[in-house]
Amino acid sequence: MLSEEQEESLIGKVGAVFVFERIRLKRAKLSYETTYT
């Protein structure tokens, strides 16, 4: 089992990665649209 601190930092890391990926996808979509429309 994870301690509470480990669990929280893990959740924080996963959340950060999730947000980063969403931003990256949004940027990719925007650049795609500006390039091909």
CB 24 within 8 Å of CB 32: no
Nearest to 2 by CA among 14, 17, 20, 16: 14
pLDDT score for 37? 66
CB 10 within 8 Å of CB 2: yes
Start-to-end C-alpha separation, the chain: 51
pLDDT score for 35? 83
pLDDT (tens digit per residue) in 1-37: 779 999 999 999 999 999 999 999 999 999 988 887 6
pLDDT score for 28? 94
pTM of this structure: 0.57
